[in-house]
Structure 1
């Protein structure tokens, strides 16, 4: 029992109980004193929160007598006996820095708890959106060398459609530049006839896959006229008869002196050339095919109709006539607006007439109109259409309109 009480006192931090005999007053203590000694200052009463623990300790000491103890010596008794009216312990206030650190720590802890709670509730209600996958680009590999394919096909077309029976090897050597090694470049031609290429115009490239493509080439060729062939054959038959008669007569053959060169003509031909990219080069893979050239283009929508300003067109017609008369002679800048740069037309062209001059409705210092002009060139008269921009030029003495820009066609 005494052991339990001792443990309880240690837990409650209570003082050890004193012996009753030692605590009883002695005769000397009860004897009257000659002069009362000055009393020490009364300690302040214990705090209200500590008073209950002090009362409990006093009651425990009164109910349970403690074990007999030997009388301590005077100095020891003075050390262990608290002055009257004072408690055996005191509560010390914490420093302000410690209180602040405790408050901050608690605030941080509660903030973390609150954030975790809010985030969790939000994830329960609104599920997080799945991230969008980054767009992936299909690897189509390197682009086909279109320009190189057009250049190779154009050079091959010139060589393929040019032949001369007097020098067949020249055609074979030219074809070998753009065909695979070991290809028979003489195949496909019977080594007869004569034809010359004037113009070569490469067109679309159709990529077929596996580094192969087909290139369209338009070629302008010049050769014997088609209608001259039958006449030549008839002449040859007639000549043969004449030769026989001359042989019979024993006269000299003069048919070569009277022979005339066959008539020639020029026409467009289409050629589709198969090519392949090999060893960082584009080469022709085999025989091409001659195809037709369209005789006309597709239908297109008519241009938008414009409202004309007839009064303004009449006032500026002389300006436009003067400009076009100087245009062909290379003196257009002398009558054009300041700062205008208008190159001269080719030599040999003279103005025929201004067929029509109409100005679009509008206002301001810049106006645009359409001029239909006829030119005399190469012994013929041709008609052209221009879009002309005139601008108003002012000076201290006068104000006039001059041509600032000129473009061919009906585009705005």
Structure 2
């Protein structure tokens, strides 16, 4: 009885120890899972904060793009310098500035005033003597100051007498729609004409040129007047004539390169009659100089195609290099 009692009492004790150890293991596992979840939440919130911070920085940067403070404390627009608007402003200014006429001093001073700062002299550097007239004033270049998009030098080209010049004008832009001439302009000589390099003449087809000459003369006669132009153009081609603004005088030169027997790219020099007033009502001829006021040579490139036994014009454009 005693032995049996001892045996029975030992079994529950062993089972209790086993259950305690198992419960301890389960408790440790649960504590580790909660720690991992908490760590994950911290990482997620950190990422969210980083994204929000980057968004705030981007918004602030966009707001500051509209105005940048320089070291001197002035505000500078971040927009690019408006070269087209500045060129238009300076072209208008140059028309007035380059018109030196001692008989119109007060008129010149009043017209220059909208372009100049308040402390500029009335004649802006001119003493009121001498004459100058400028024509054909056109934009030439715009040089924006490096690192400063509010100041630039606008250069124009103009002609006075038989010479071309440049006029450089410093301007200031307020970042909106206003400009002002910020310094004295400077007149410079314009570049001369470029040297035209010599090129070897291409091989020509004189036989086809002879064949084309009479047909092209009829085409240019119709091209000048607009009368029956379709008779000399390729099928499917529609060309607009000069409508009588000039009259045909002669086909002075024609250059036909060697090529395909049914299609060629050719060049021609045509002499037009320049009317003295209204469009001519009669066809002038070289033997009748009284019928025209002048003669004007023009160069053309033409695409001609052969249909049947005749050549027809498919296209006409302005010429390139000199022909003939």
TM range (shorter): 0.5 to 0.7
SS in 2 for 1:347: coil
User: Which of 94, 98, 110 matches 1:161?
Assistant: 98
2:250 is aligned with 1:352: yes
Which blocks of at least 5 consecutive residues in structure 2 are unaligned? 15-64, 66-76, 276-292
> Kindly tell me: are residues 177 and 328 of structure 1, through their superposed partners in 2, closer, same or farther at Cα, counting changes over 3 Å?
farther
**Structure 1 equivalent of residue 316 of structure 2:** 406
SS in 2 for 1:320: helix
- Please give the residue correspondences for 1:16-31 in structure 2 after superposition, counting only pairs within 5 Å: none
4+ residue runs over 6 A deviation? 5-9
- State the Cα RMSD in Å: 3.5
**Structure 1 equivalent of residue 167 of structure 2:** 271
Task: Describe the superposition over 1:82-110 as per-residue Cα deviations: whole angstroms up to 9, x where unpaired.
Answer: xxxxxxxxxxxxxxxxxxxxxxxxxxxxx
**Distance in 1 of aligned mates of 2:119 and 2:243:** 51
Q: Structure 1 stretch 151-160 or stretch 208-217: which is displaced more?
A: 208-217
Task: Describe the superposition over 1:129-182 as per-residue Cα deviations: whole angstroms up to 9, x where unpaired.
Answer: xxxxxxxxxx99422211111111111111011122222111111211222234
User: Which of 294, 297, 309 matches 2:191?
Assistant: 294
- Please give the residue correspondences for 1:177-256 in structure 2 after superposition, counting only pairs within 5 Å: 177-209=114-146, 210=148, 211-221=150-160
- Please give the residue correspondences for 1:79-98 in structure 2 after superposition, counting only pairs within 5 Å: none
**Structure 2 equivalent of residue 385 of structure 1:** 299
Normalising by structure 1, we get a TM-score of 0.49
**Distance in 2 of aligned mates of 1:345 and 1:284:** 47
**Structure 1 equivalent of residue 221 of structure 2:** 325
Which blocks of at least 5 consecutive residues in structure 1 are unaligned? 12-138, 222-264
Q: Are 1:215 and 1:272, in contact at CA under 8 Å, matched by a contact in 2?
A: yes
SS in 2 for 1:200: strand
Task: Describe the superposition over 1:282-307 as per-residue Cα deviations: whole angstroms up to 9, x where unpaired.
Answer: 2211220111122322x465568644
> Kindly tell me: are residues 215 and 187 of structure 1, through their superposed partners in 2, closer, same or farther at Cα, counting changes over 3 Å?
closer
Q: Are 2:135 and 2:158, in contact at CA under 8 Å, matched by a contact in 1?
A: yes
The alpha carbon displacement at 1:199 in A equals: 2.2
Q: How many residues align?
A: 236
**Distance in 2 of aligned mates of 1:311 and 1:205:** 53
Q: Are 1:391 and 1:404, in contact at CA under 8 Å, matched by a contact in 2?
A: yes
**Distance in 2 of aligned mates of 1:277 and 1:343:** 47
The alpha carbon displacement at 1:375 in A equals: 3.9
**Distance in 2 of aligned mates of 1:291 and 1:336:** 50
User: Which of 179, 195, 198 matches 1:282?
Assistant: 179
Q: Are 1:391 and 1:401, in contact at CA under 8 Å, matched by a contact in 2?
A: yes
**Structure 2 equivalent of residue 144 of structure 1:** 81
User: Which of 354, 362, 368 matches 2:265?
Assistant: 368
Normalising by structure 2, we get a TM-score of 0.61
